[in-house]
Amino acid sequence: MIRNLQSIWMRLSNQDAGQDISEYSLLLAFISLISLCLYLQNARDVSAVWKTASNILVRGGQVVSGS
């Protein structure tokens, strides 16, 4: 009886395939969340850089055309 319980316990403790999948899923969700936060934070900064560059190009075009 004790041997049977020990063998069942050993088999259950060695089966961790489902645990690996859940750990990888949680890790992927965490990395995706961090990436999204970084993207949203930097999107405003990148937009500001493009607006500044656009304004400089417009002003440069006005100077060249003589307006």
- The predicted-structure confidence for 23-66, as pLDDT tens digits, reads as follows 888 999 999 999 998 888 888 888 888 899 999 999 988 888 87
**Distance, CA of 25 to CA of 15 (rounded, Å):** 18
C-alpha 33/C-alpha 39 separation (Å) is 10
DSSP 10: H
CA–CA separation, 8 and 49 (whole Å): 63
pTM: 0.46
- DSSP 8-state assignment for residue 67: -
Interior CA angle at 51 toward 48 and 56, to 5°?
125
